[in-house]
Chain A
């Protein structure tokens, strides 16, 4: 074997060049992103705590200068994951589009494949949503964010969320995005196993059901917050 074949970077590049390599990258980054989505949801659900201060304390903990290094490390890793996930998917999309230059006059689809076939636009919309979400509730570019005592390390998350979601357009967009995220996650969570080569006639159907349940739970959890604000369940 030549030295070049043994070089791990070279091997990684060659691996990524193959479509299966790209799918593996999407699966691995997908796992990370799903983990983040779940963690983020659990953090958010603290908004239902009897004490409105609960979620603000959590935010303060994250924003504490002592947490800065791990926080930015995690953010960096997540950003890298997003970049890789998106890059791989765009490359695959371009390749796959080129694989059929002339389409069908009439094409039917299999109903079960709905979530899978919509990955391509559920992905970008969820992506756009994430940008909006960061601008909205992290950066404060959509509407000014309140801090407790004017200290940027202690944001008043409770108030910001409730004020933010009182706008029906914003809430509507959040809910729509969460439904798409749900579909995206449903397909992503079982197909990542398929991509890395794990499939079994007995367990794969269960895996699909599990993925569906988890995706729906995530969607319910996330959608509940704007709904709770709109219905006045959560208020200042």
Chain B
């Protein structure tokens, strides 16, 4: 099938970018979205034009490295799917697709579709962990964990840190990412001692990174490739309020 692409091209962080139109006449429906971009890049290379830079690594939807806005939706139109797992059979002949990088002040564009998401790492470094030094752990079965808590924790822990939530949020808020980590650790008995300080530290770091705030719109939840639920944000709010007010 024939696909028309409009891709954001920007040489580097300093330069202005623009949308550039490309046409791919022979796209197989079995290709993944990124394989289609590979084909485009091969063609561009052969023509002597610089290929499109885009982040990707595992290509099986788990590393969280890939991602772009496809027609204004983070990771494209298929729910619960990263861009690398989106296959061209979900598009039709003649489709025009607009590809843009994640947009947020906290995610500056590096080149073309590549952005800098190191703000996420700094948020985790601020408190997204359980402080246990190697070797000091008790037996794995010393602390039973309710099956339901473990399952809910796992739901939140599935976050791959791709940044789609930020990209899609009209406020460029990182709340779903924050909430996912806060819920993952806060739902487990091991995470209790640092539960409140963790929420406060992570939220404070997110504010320093200049992410927006949550206004409960729910676009993040709709595009999250791992179906992280809005509830985790309520949990973050609860832990934060409890820490700040000593109630809740």
User: Given A96, A107, A109, which contacts B215 in the complex, CB threshold below 8 Å?
Assistant: A96
User: Given A19, A96, A105, A109, which contacts B172 in the complex, CB threshold below 8 Å?
Assistant: A96
Give the number of A-B contacts (CB < 8 Å): 137
Known interface pairs A18-B207, A197-B235. Does A116 touch B213 (Cβ–Cβ under 8 Å)?
no
Stretch at the interface among B44-52, B81-89, B130-138, B216-224: B216-224
How many angstroms between the C-alpha atoms of A106 and B71 in the bound complex? 6
How many angstroms between the C-alpha atoms of A116 and B173 in the bound complex? 14
B residues 65-79 with Cβ under 8 Å of A? 69, 71-73
Known interface pairs A23-B237, A102-B103. Does A204 touch B231 (Cβ–Cβ under 8 Å)?
yes
Is A187 positioned at the interface, with any CB of B under 8 Å from its CB?
Answer: yes
Is A201 positioned at the interface, with any CB of B under 8 Å from its CB?
Answer: yes
Is B214 positioned at the interface, with any CB of A under 8 Å from its CB?
Answer: yes
User: Given B100, B212, B222, B237, which contacts A20 in the complex, CB threshold below 8 Å?
Assistant: B237
User: Given A15, A22, A99, A198, which contacts B106 in the complex, CB threshold below 8 Å?
Assistant: A99
By the criterion CB–CB under 8 Å, are B213 and A198 in contact? no
Is B170 positioned at the interface, with any CB of A under 8 Å from its CB?
Answer: yes
Given the complex, which residues of A lie within 8 Å of B207, measured CB to CB?
Answer: 18-19
Is B98 positioned at the interface, with any CB of A under 8 Å from its CB?
Answer: yes
A residues 68-109 with Cβ under 8 Å of B? 92, 95-96, 98-109
By the criterion CB–CB under 8 Å, are A20 and B72 in contact? no
How many B residues touch the partner, as a band?
Answer: 35 or more
- Of all chain B residues, the one with the shortest Cβ separation from A101 is B105
By the criterion CB–CB under 8 Å, are A96 and B212 in contact? yes
Given the complex, which residues of A lie within 8 Å of B240, measured CB to CB?
Answer: 18, 20, 197
Known interface pairs A96-B171, A105-B100. Does A197 touch B238 (Cβ–Cβ under 8 Å)?
yes
By the criterion CB–CB under 8 Å, are A24 and B217 in contact? no
How many angstroms between the C-alpha atoms of A133 and B231 in the bound complex? 37
A213 CB → nearest B CB, Å: 19
B135 CB → nearest A CB, Å: 32
Is A191 positioned at the interface, with any CB of B under 8 Å from its CB?
Answer: yes
> Which applies to chain A's interface (DSSP): helix, strand, loop or mixed?
helix
A209 CB → nearest B CB, Å: 15
Given the complex, which residues of A lie within 8 Å of B98, measured CB to CB?
Answer: 105-106
B13 CB → nearest A CB, Å: 12
Is B248 positioned at the interface, with any CB of A under 8 Å from its CB?
Answer: yes
Is B210 positioned at the interface, with any CB of A under 8 Å from its CB?
Answer: yes
By the criterion CB–CB under 8 Å, are A194 and B234 in contact? yes
User: Given B171, B210, B229, B241, which contacts A197 in the complex, CB threshold below 8 Å?
Assistant: B241
A45 CB → nearest B CB, Å: 30
How many angstroms between the C-alpha atoms of A116 and B203 in the bound complex? 22
Residues of chain B touching chain A, judged by Cβ–Cβ distance below 8 Å, are 6, 8, 19, 69, 71-73, 98, 100, 103-106, 170-173, 203-204, 207, 210-219, 222-223, 229-231, 233-242, 244-245, 248
Q: A105-B6, A190-B216 are in contact. List 8 more A-B contacts (CB 8 A).
A: A14-B244, A20-B241, A99-B210, A103-B103, A108-B71, A112-B218, A194-B230, A199-B233
The 10 closest A-B CB pairs, nearest first, are: A197-B238, A19-B213, A199-B234, A99-B212, A108-B72, A96-B171, A191-B216, A96-B212, A99-B172, A116-B217
